[in-house]
A and B are shown apart, each in its own frame.
Chain A
Amino acid sequence: MPFFNVRMGCSKQMKKMIELNHVQYSYILPSGERIQAVRDISFTIQPGEHIAIIGANGSGKTTLVQLINGLITPDSGWVLVDGYFTSDRNHHADIFSKIGLVFQNPRDQIVASLVEEDTAFGPENLCLSHSEIRERVAASLTMSGALHLKERQTYLLSAGETQRVALAGVLAMRPACLIFDETTAMLDPQSRKELLDVMTTFHKQGFTIIHVTHDLDEVLTADRILVLHAGQLVLDGSPYEVFKDEKALREYSLILPDLLKFTQDLRSYFPDLADFYRSEEALLTDLGKIPRSGVGGERTNKMIQQNDLEEDFIHFNHLSHTYMAGTPLAQPTLQDITFSLAKAESVGLVGHTGSGKSTLLQHLNGLIRPQQGMVRIGEFDLSRADVDVKTLRQQVGLVFQLPEAQFFEMYVGDEIAYAARTLGYTGKLRDLVQIAMQAVGLDFEQFVDRPLFSLSGGQKRRVALASYLVVQPQVLLLDEPFAGLDPLIHQEMIQLVNRLKEEGKTLILSTHTMRDLLQIVQKAIVLHSGKIVSQGTTVDLFFQPDLHDWGLEIPLELRIAEALRKKGWEIPVEMVRWDSIVGWLRTRMAGGVDARF
């Protein structure tokens, strides 16, 4: 069979890890409608490459990943993994062993109730010997840094720990290629950084890495970026090639990574900076080389004026809470929480996953009642059993994480009207819905009768927000409102929240992303293991020595400002937003200072 020999020899010589050839894939909706998810995609991935896949919500990233590891097979075209066609079921053991997929939500990946048993699941399926399974379990848990969790219950792990255990389960299959499908999206900064470090380490050890993500700053270290748009592969190149054309990116609903945007802005004043950096550290090193500034400037260390309003509208007094009290799952989630907030004030709530942010928010609209201590909001004392929760919930809107997962109506209008109906609004529901839709930037006529499932990710998030705004609450509690959104919609949602804040709503924003925090609030509370460890202005927050231990990080713009300050550019410390920092540089540089190095 000469043909086979040639083929085999060829694939060995070229050593392709993954090859896609004119792959098409479409879903069929119950209505019979065909949705083309992947259109005519071809590319090759070599062993040991670090690939990033980016694209807006609904661009076909997840479908592509499933095609690569053989969970689904193409309608036409073919996918080859390490020389095996994914359509050939006889080789699925080889393909699944070769390619490890780490899911967005690691909990979806855990099958057993003990950690070591879960790690053993894959090798057991491969029918390996007892000693081989033992060896693999120990090795994989060590590699993912989860060996100390070996005998723990899987449902009692924190988010970061679950992530490691999920990774160990994948590693136990001894894959050559690891796919991370939006794995970093829901993690706090610290866990995210740890996971990215794990990826880098594995890449150095020779693994092929495929990283699917919305966070464009994460993809700059990749060897190659694949950009998807409406199911098509529209760009395939190095990070430099992909990000050089900002206009093209916009067309694909993408924006520049912050690192590159900041670099671009800085280059107007420091033209000797390179036009492309792959890491924050590289940019900061180069900023260390710019000449000291001759530009004088008073060093204004004055802090933002604190609104020392007498009135404490929201008040927590020594609140403690234990989740699942009295069961083996019992864990203290809040301990001795005390703080106050004035009306129309806004504050950010930060801290690692599981630090108690959501529990704290749920106390504010009575979903959780104080076990110990007191919570008061306006005239509502939540420690009292007879508090009027209905009226409270009308005034305090709590928007949950990924709120669109809880939709239950068919049509946009009904979903938005729900709160108004249940809270007893009568009469002009339609008007209320219209106002709410306007507030989130959805056209009433165009969207009110649309079925919810036909909306895009960003539109769904808007509907979710509108479904809370419809009763016009005075207080908005937002739990990770930007999680899982693609970059462009993320920006639009930040503007939207800012607009609501300016309208005078009291706002408590829980978030993992420090940049979002800086763009919306001036005050922040840090929760760590259920305790408040810091509260004050966001400016103060980033000068706290324990920041790292709390699972937080200093955002790049502040690190840039600090680097410039070291060089004599006395950017006031209260400038924490990038546009104000650039604005400051602009006015200072109007004098025409030479900042070459």
Chain B
Amino acid sequence: MPAFEYLRSIGIGYYYPGVSFLHRRDARMKVLFFSALLLGVALTTSINGLLLGLFCALIGFWMAHVPLSPCLRTIRSIFPFVLLLFLLQLLIYRPDESSMLIWQWKFISIYDSILLSAVRMLMRFLTLALVLGLMTAVLSTLEMNHGLEMLLRPLEALGIRTGMLVMVIQIMLRFLPLLALRMEEIAKSQAARGASWDMGRGGILKRIQLVLPLITPLFLNTLQQSERIADAMLCRGYGIYPKRSHYYEYHITSVDAIFLLVGLGITTAVLYLPLFH
């Protein structure tokens, strides 16, 4: 990978405009569908359930005509860390009494229950990443905001300013790629003056030494930029009225309702499919 294209390492989070079945679903339904599925995948203890989630995510990519490779590349770049966690879990976790020893070599012993939970963790990571990638690919940030805003509206009765909360999410999402670009700029300008960003890896201390001078301008730049964007939002009338209206009109059709029901069905299956031994 090119030394400075930080943005390139992020393959999850791109919206792919399109007119597929998934794209055309009502924003609220999509938000609910994916929230349920994400929650299901995050909480389930069933390996079969995780497999089902993974399968559904892949079907989703196919249905939405969204390329899988950027998402896989991101997964690959984080994979070493996950693998490390996998190994740690495998080697360090202590088994309970009902566990069976399945393999032993010198001081390394591997028990079935630990292996199962380590595999589960790996699968969970993979499925979560794919579902998240699919969600951002078919749900634009504005759709997500409107969806969330409408879904959270009842909370306003409790005095929670949900609109504000949602705007914070929107701006944060817009800022992430900008932050990566800014970091690229600053790191490059320091490298041009001899900082060894791309000259191989040094020790931890050396990496920290490199990052420290990066933080000051990154922080300053980001502060300045957020101030400018706040100004821009004020100039365009944000926050003048307590409520905002919407560019899109949202209608829930019967297809949307079925879509959500299917989603909830899948989630239930993900959560409760019987454990496979």
24 contacts between A and B (CB under 8 A): A71-B235, A101-B232, A103-B232, A111-B232, A111-B233, A111-B236, A113-B15, A113-B141, A113-B174, A122-B237, A125-B238, A133-B246, A153-B15, A323-B5, A324-B5, A328-B70, A329-B8, A366-B198, A389-B198, A400-B185, A400-B188, A409-B213, A468-B192, A468-B193
Q: Is the CB of B15 within 8 A of A126?
A: no
Q: Is the CB of B193 within 8 A of A126?
A: no
Among A66, A110, A116, A399, the residue within 8 A (CB) of B247 is: A116
Q: Give the top 4 A-B pairs by smallest Cβ distance, nearest first.
A: A422-B194, A120-B247, A125-B237, A419-B193
Given contacts A112-B142, A389-B198, A407-B217, 11 further A-B contacts (CB under 8 A): A71-B234, A123-B247, A133-B245, A323-B5, A324-B8, A326-B73, A393-B194, A397-B192, A398-B192, A400-B192, A471-B194
Q: Which of A120-140 contact B (CB under 8 A)?
A: 120-130, 133-134, 137
Q: Which residues of A contact B82 (CB under 8 A)?
A: none
Q: Which residues of B contact A170 (CB under 8 A)?
A: 235-236
User: Once bound together, how far apart are the Cα atoms of A108 and B14, in whole Å?
Assistant: 20
How does the 8 Å CB contact mask read for B64-76 relative to A, with 1 for contact and 0 for none? 0001011001000
Q: Is the CB of A109 within 8 A of B232?
A: yes
Q: Which of A18-68 contact B (CB under 8 A)?
A: 66
Q: Which of B1-38 contact A (CB under 8 A)?
A: 2-5, 7-8, 11, 14-17
Q: Which of B213-247 contact A (CB under 8 A)?
A: 213-214, 216-217, 221, 225, 228-229, 231-241, 243-247
Q: Which residues of B contact A120 (CB under 8 A)?
A: 247
> Would you call B92 an interface residue if the criterion is a C-beta within 8 Å of the partner chain's C-beta atoms?
no
How does the 8 Å CB contact mask read for B184-222 relative to A, with 1 for contact and 0 for none? 011011111111101100000000000001101100010
Q: Which residues of A contact B243 (CB under 8 A)?
A: 127
Q: Is the CB of B140 within 8 A of A117?
A: yes
> Would you call B177 an interface residue if the criterion is a C-beta within 8 Å of the partner chain's C-beta atoms?
yes
Q: Is the CB of B249 within 8 A of A422?
A: no
Most buried by A among B216, B217, B236: B236
Q: Is the CB of A122 within 8 A of B236?
A: yes
Given contacts A125-B241, A130-B249, A422-B193, contact A96 B141 (CB under 8 A): no
Q: Which residues of B contact A422 (CB under 8 A)?
A: 193-196
Q: Nearest CB to that of A107 among chain B residues? A: B178
Among A109, A113, A366, the residue within 8 A (CB) of B140 is: A113
Q: Residues of A at under 8 Å CB distance from B?
A: 66, 69, 71, 92-93, 96-97, 100-101, 103, 105, 107-114, 116-117, 120-130, 133-134, 137, 151, 153, 155, 169-170, 173, 323-329, 362, 365-369, 389-390, 393-394, 397-400, 403, 405-409, 418-419, 421-424, 467-468, 471
Given contacts A117-B247, A124-B245, A151-B17, contact A365 B192 (CB under 8 A): yes
Q: Which residues of A contact B225 (CB under 8 A)?
A: 108
> Would you call B171 an interface residue if the criterion is a C-beta within 8 Å of the partner chain's C-beta atoms?
yes
Q: Is the CB of A111 within 8 A of B170?
A: yes
Q: Nearest CB to that of A398 among chain B residues? A: B192
Q: Which residues of A contact B229 (CB under 8 A)?
A: 108-109, 111
A422–chain B nearest beta-carbon distance, Å: 3
Given contacts A113-B141, A153-B17, A326-B73, contact A173 B237 (CB under 8 A): yes
Among B189, B228, B232, the residue within 8 A (CB) of A400 is: B189
Q: Is the CB of A125 within 8 A of B4?
A: no
Q: Is the CB of B237 within 8 A of A367?
A: no
Among B5, B14, B15, B186, the residue within 8 A (CB) of A406 is: B186
User: Once bound together, how far apart are the Cα atoms of A324 and B171, in whole Å?
Assistant: 23
Q: Nearest CB to that of B237 among chain A residues? A: A125
Most buried by B among A173, A367, A369: A367
Q: Nearest CB to that of B239 among chain A residues? A: A125
Q: Which residues of A contact B234 (CB under 8 A)?
A: 71, 96
User: Once bound together, how far apart are the Cα atoms of A389 and B191, in whole Å?
Assistant: 10
Given contacts A324-B7, A327-B14, A406-B185, contact A394 B194 (CB under 8 A): yes
Q: Nearest CB to that of A97 among chain B residues? A: B237
Q: Which residues of B contact A112 (CB under 8 A)?
A: 141-142, 170, 174
Q: Nearest CB to that of B141 among chain A residues? A: A113
A363–chain B nearest beta-carbon distance, Å: 11
B29–chain A nearest beta-carbon distance, Å: 19
Q: Which residues of A contact B8 (CB under 8 A)?
A: 324-327, 329
User: Once bound together, how far apart are the Cα atoms of A105 and B11, in whole Å?
Assistant: 27
Most buried by A among B15, B173, B244: B244
Q: Nearest CB to that of B214 among chain A residues? A: A408
Q: Is the CB of A408 within 8 A of B236?
A: no
A517–chain B nearest beta-carbon distance, Å: 23
Q: Is the CB of A103 within 8 A of B192?
A: no
User: Once bound together, how far apart are the Cα atoms of A254 and B177, in whole Å?
Assistant: 39
Given contacts A328-B16, A418-B193, A422-B193, contact A96 B69 (CB under 8 A): no
Q: Is the CB of B221 within 8 A of A405?
A: yes
User: Once bound together, how far apart are the Cα atoms of A514 and B132, in whole Å?
Assistant: 48
How does the 8 Å CB contact mask read for B157-187 relative to A, with 1 for contact and 0 for none? 0000000000000110110011000000110
Given contacts A328-B14, A389-B198, A418-B193, contact A108 B232 (CB under 8 A): yes
Q: Is the CB of A393 within 8 A of B17?
A: no
Q: Which residues of B contact A468 (CB under 8 A)?
A: 192-193
B54–chain A nearest beta-carbon distance, Å: 23
Q: Nearest CB to that of A130 among chain B residues? A: B249
User: Once bound together, how far apart are the Cα atoms of A484 and B123, in whole Å?
Assistant: 52
Given contacts A328-B70, A329-B7, contact A126 B237 (CB under 8 A): yes
User: Once bound together, how far apart are the Cα atoms of A276 and B236, in whole Å?
Assistant: 39
Q: Nearest CB to that of B167 among chain A residues? A: A111
Q: Nearest CB to that of A394 among chain B residues? A: B194
User: Once bound together, how far apart are the Cα atoms of A128 and B243, in whole Å?
Assistant: 10
A360–chain B nearest beta-carbon distance, Å: 14
Q: Which of B230-272 contact A (CB under 8 A)?
A: 231-241, 243-247, 249
A488–chain B nearest beta-carbon distance, Å: 26
Given contacts A127-B243, A329-B7, A403-B189, contact A114 B216 (CB under 8 A): no
User: Once bound together, how far apart are the Cα atoms of A97 and B241, in whole Å?
Assistant: 13
Given contacts A122-B236, A124-B247, A133-B245, contact A419 B189 (CB under 8 A): no
Q: Is the CB of A101 within 8 A of B235?
A: yes
Q: Which residues of B contact A173 (CB under 8 A)?
A: 236-237
Q: Is the CB of A129 within 8 A of B5?
A: no
Q: Is the CB of B192 within 8 A of A408?
A: no
Q: Which residues of B contact A390 (CB under 8 A)?
A: 194, 196, 199
Q: Which residues of A contact B185 (CB under 8 A)?
A: 400, 405-406
Q: Is the CB of A369 within 8 A of B2?
A: yes
Q: Which residues of B contact A406 (CB under 8 A)?
A: 185-186, 189-190, 217
Q: Which residues of B contact A103 (CB under 8 A)?
A: 228, 232
User: Once bound together, how far apart are the Cα atoms of A405 and B70, in whole Å?
Assistant: 32
A474–chain B nearest beta-carbon distance, Å: 15
B236–chain A nearest beta-carbon distance, Å: 4
Among B16, B73, B240, the residue within 8 A (CB) of A93 is: B240
B223–chain A nearest beta-carbon distance, Å: 12
User: Once bound together, how far apart are the Cα atoms of A134 and B247, in whole Å?
Assistant: 7
User: Once bound together, how far apart are the Cα atoms of A362 and B237, in whole Å?
Assistant: 40
Q: Which residues of A contact B214 (CB under 8 A)?
A: 408
Q: Nearest CB to that of B74 among chain A residues? A: A327
Q: Is the CB of A137 within 8 A of B247?
A: yes
Q: Is the CB of A130 within 8 A of B232?
A: no
